[in-house]
Amino acid sequence: MDAVAHIPRYNLNEEDEKKLILREYRSLLKALKSKLKPGDKNLVRVAFEMAAEAHKTMRRKSGEPYILHPIAVAKICVQEIGLGVRSTICSLLHDTVEDTDITLDDVQREFGTEITKIVDGLTKISNIIDVNASQQAENFKKILLTLTDDPRVILIKLADRLHNMRTLDSMKREKQLKISSETVYVYAPLAHRMGLYNIKTEMEDLAMKYMEPDVYKDIARKLAETKKERTKFINEFIKPLKDKIEKAGVNAEIYGRPKSIHSIWNKMKKKAVDFEEVYDLFAIRIILDSPPEKEKEDCWKVYSLITDEYNPSPERLRDWLSNPKANGYEALHTTVMSGYGKWVEVQIRTKRMNEIAEKGLAAHWKYKEGKVEENRFDKWFQQIREVMSSQETDSIDFLQDFKTSFLADEIYVYTPKGDVKMLPVGSTALDFAFAIHSAIGAKTIGAKVNHKLVPISHKLHSGDQVEIITSNKQKASEDWLKFVVTSKAKGRIRDSLKEEKRLVADEGKYALQRKLEGIDAHFSQLNLDELMQWYKQPSHVDLFYQVAIKNIDLRDLKKEYVTGGKIEFPKPVKPVQEKPEFIPHHQLAERKDTELVIFGESSDKIVYNLANCCKPIPGDDVFGFVTTGKGLTIHRTNCPNATKLLSNYGHRVVKTKWAKNKEISFLTGVKIVGMDDVGVVNKITNLISGELKINISALTIEAKEGLFMGNIRLYVHDKEELDELVQRLQNMQGIESVERYDTEEKPV
């Protein structure tokens, strides 16, 4: 469903509005032209008129007519995903059943069962992340069931989300954060897995624009400033390659494209380097016009020509020709050293591979027609069906399990007979055992990887050959859940543990029954409920289990607690405690539009604490998160946990900002790297304590091979003060880098 905005910025009159709507609709028809069969145009027109009529009184938050949103979603489906007429009709109708008087019966009457099923799927998942956490997991399961039933549902949902991200400017700040977090947490990885690289990249960039606006603007500005120099470099790099490829008689297009802002930022963080030091700001793409039977041969031929001209980095060769990714991606990637001493990534693929890379699943279907073998998407869907049909998951763990199992990149591992198994990156020998068969996984005691004995927690890599060692005496253990990553393994381990727990609980059940009968109490539902509450157990099974393992001592049960067969425990008297005044959770949730000022006049009315995971200080972009029992916890919007909190628990997020208060100091830290020089520590402490009058809490310096690395914990009043300190330290001679760090552990 389309998001709601608060800044009206739209002022067309009624006549101009009608013209605009008609222009957009005609533009959609033009995009669809090559896919229209006789009668299709009428069906699309009926869907458009139905949606336009249903949404006629509705407006988007920017003030524009709502119907423009479904038209835009339909255009994304056609132009950017490569879907056809049925998906266009579903896109036009995707919000009608939920938001207007139109019913599924109306859709069925006009368009039949296929379209009704897809619209129903879209309606069911429209509010996926606007509810509490366990409900969200349920809704996400609905998405996946529909995905495996008809993947067009999720493709249209991705188009819907992309258009909402493109039009997020008119939204309130906290809505922008919440929607961006959901997008980067679930939708971008899903787009990636569906093979929609362009959509995944744009979603990540747009999310970053709202979640880390300063960094986003800074990288965008630097990319714009270096464009001329980059273009010159690309042209000079490409020229000798073009000549070689033409002489070899291969028909190919060669061009350079910049990497996304989000991927550049990830590289900067991962390698702890500045923008100027990120070597692969762009990639060279070579698209070959090859017939299907010569595709592989031509790609390797071009690879050979490139490596004749430039030296390759052997460890950076990626061969997705022999083993395509699970989302259908095929290509050959290599990184070579240019004549200017810079590494450059080169991607080689054919036109068919390029279409699959850009249109993902939709293009895969197009090329699959007439082929008998099961494709990788089908295998992926089958794995999802298998996991969901057998797994009881009603918690937020489901989403995390799904992300690690089905949205991660994959590795290829071989059985002793040479069969290939696809597993997510980070999978262990135990994940592999469960991938072969649940019964094998449950009995696994070890494995041989490339003929060497390893423990079951051993992480696998692409190309490993794995042999599983089992024993009939082996049983699943709680510890196994700490290192397996696939949903299948986690589900089966949990099932085994539940079964084991149930068997142990049966012993506790009989022990409890005997005890109750011994003190003249009934073994009844009423008494079991009373015992469950008294011993603070979530269920009867847990109560029996705790009795069986002797965590609950039945000697505590006395005859004086029993009246007429019913247990009546003495009611505990609660001591009266003075509590600090604070706003209850439900009131916080209701006051979402109220701006809570931290350290202003209202600070004494709210119980709050600063999150340890990101150590916010005044001036940081922050949000409040309602924590059970702790009142409000303040997190930075770029906190490592922010994405998960904002996307999973949006209803518990409160808009928050700082008020100036120079009397309170906040603990933070900086990490300094520089040349090891006499007196360097003295210079640093003089600047911090002497010139800037900042209190140092702790200081550690470690010198190694001419470099020193230092951590300084210090108290600052706000971000302004910290920024000035970082700037002054960076300007000191011999200092290489200065970074803020926020976690409890020391980074050196």
Structural domain includes residue 243: yes
Residues 642 and 719 placed together within one structural domain of the fold: no
Cα(747)–Cα(739) distance, rounded to whole angstroms?
11
Report yes or no on 393 lying in a domain: no
In a domain, 473, yes or no: no
What is the Cα–Cα distance from 534 to 563, expressed in whole angstroms? 17
Whether 99 sits among the annotated catalytic residues: the reply is yes
* Domain-terminating residue out of 317, 341, 368: 368
Whether the per-residue pLDDT at 226 is higher than 70: the answer is: yes
Distance CA 437, CA 439 (A): 5
Q: What are phi and psi of 491, to 5 degrees?
A: -60, -45
State residue 468's pLDDT score. 92
In 554-706, which ranges are E strands?
Answer: 562-563, 566-567, 596-598, 608-610, 622-627, 631-636, 653-658, 666-675, 695-704
Final residue before a domain boundary, out of 642, 658, 674: 658
Please check whether residue 293 lies inside any domain of the structure: yes
140 and 75 within one domain = yes
Query: What does the pLDDT average to over 159-174?
Result: 88
pLDDT band at 2 (very low <50, low <70, confident <90, very high): very low
Those residues whose C-beta lies under 8 Å from the C-beta of residue 551, and which sit 6 or more positions away, are none
* Residue 529 known to be catalytic: no
Q: Do residue 266 and residue 348 come from a single domain? A: yes
Using CA of residue 280, residue 410, residue 420, residue 428, what is the dihedral sign? positive
107 with 252, same domain?
A: no
Is residue 705 assigned to a domain? yes
Per-residue pLDDT for 59 more than 90? no
Which of 494-498, 591-595, 650-654 reaches the highest mean pLDDT? 494-498
pLDDT tens sequence across 191-200: 887 778 889 8
> Is 508:544 a contact under the CB 8 Å cutoff?
yes
- CATH assignment of the domain containing 36: 1.10.3210.10
pLDDT at 607: 65
Count of domains forming the chain: 5
Listed range (91-105, 155-169, 599-613, 653-667) with the worst mean pLDDT: 599-613
Kindly name the residue from 98, 106, 120, 280 that is annotated as catalytic: 98
Q: Where residue 324 sits, what CATH number does that domain have?
A: 3.30.460.10
- Is the pLDDT at 127 greater than 60? The verdict is no
Q: Which residue has the higher pLDDT, 604 or 205?
A: 205
Per the listing, tokens 């009058």 go with: 693
Domain holding 547, by residue range, is 495-567
Exactly one of 17, 40, 99, 120 is catalytic; name it: 99
Residues 191 and 64 in one domain: yes
**In this structure, what is the dihedral angle of CA atoms 140, 142, 144, 148, given to the nearest 10 degrees?**
-170
- pLDDT at residue 594 above 50? no
State yes or no: pLDDT of 344 exceeds 80: yes
More confident residue, 562 or 49: 49
Residue 470, in any domain of the structure: no
Mean pLDDT of 571-594: 45
Asked if the structure places residue 461 within a domain, the reply is no
